[in-house]
Chains A and B, each alone.
Chain A
């Protein structure tokens, strides 16, 4: 399945279970409805298949991106997420991205360390189990800032319209984010804004925003060429208050956090591209083998060559994302979750871990600094740059493969091929977005240059001393999260900031 020597025993079984579930869910519930969902999504901008999300929840697809300590199932998060994405994308990329964008939203929390295990993430796991799914979204892009928001070297010059203003007990968020997948459905959004608009690179911060907060509003929902089931929405922040305890990591760690998430999510985009290509290839091959009118085409050498090339492209794209996911899980950021200290914390009973004493310690400056220090020590700038390069390569390769293979499949089938044509056209429309989101392929390849061609180092670690949130009473909304207490541990601003 996956050539990862560390995947064995229980870990391997867990991933095989998740994969089998994703495949069954895709084949039984998604693929037969893919065209209908696409049409409905175009006709009614408010239509969203919550029934399908609930069904996916039965297969653990919302918790697939959670660390095991927060109720997730797999230790090798990136690998398992990628495999799920390929399976779902072969059925319907739009549905895959609903779950993928949720995983992206979860990403900052998963990287945020033990403090976040028992908040929104556990709520997601619990609600999934109860059949009342909660989803997340990830908000970076702004109307005037897209690709440059995703590059540490460009972000200082980006035309950012969002900013977070310090107020008593937290921050007020203002501005507009756009093209946010799941934006209109998400309960929680991880959103990036600078605290000082004049110094975005140094002060970019990740905030966990509850979409029920006052001042939060969903704006325009886009009509997209493809991946229509996954809604892209504008999110408007009008003095949205976020308490200090919902700062993910430290103030100023936003770029590091964001890039860390992208290192984990770009292989998943590569997997989405691979899945789209596979979906097109499987459909056209099935048609050629089974439709009496189509079958004679298999006698044509051009068709055989095209099919062989499709196989080849898909194989290489899969290899690229598996390599990147393996690097993430075994070597770079994901490996932090396998740290002995983190694993021991994970073995604490939930009740104990949710106690005010332990939460206070985990939310303390020392703990938050420790997370960043561990990242610096175990991975560092060079390790992050290399991991980013591999993940960017996987993303660009998977996306290009999706475009190429869907185009080839459509070319073989032609306009008169009957019902299969609409499915192939949909996959091609879906494929184009993979070349654009999570940084355009061009930006991704520039990061491959940095990380692999010249063994460079992007400034991915925090560039200034990360300021620690001050202690504050955390207002809890759900009974499950009621254990969240104030954090009043010792805080020393300007301490860690590991370079």
Chain B
């Protein structure tokens, strides 16, 4: 069982890693692998999160689920792993394929 705040911290980390392989395109192996593993963790544990709140001087425990957000996490995990594989085989990032590039003005 994962504390909700910890789960969101993992999601933010996964998001940063995803943005890193998407835009920075440096250390893609590391960022894509960390993004894939973090999204996988988020997808697999998002159904049973715990939140602790203090009410009337007592700690109350709540169980909650992020529901369909888990599917988004699965998608991003698979996407990150796919990028990892494509990058290792030299297929990511794609070549610039702008049809107007090089055209005379």
Q: Is chain B found bound to chain A in the same assembly?
A: no
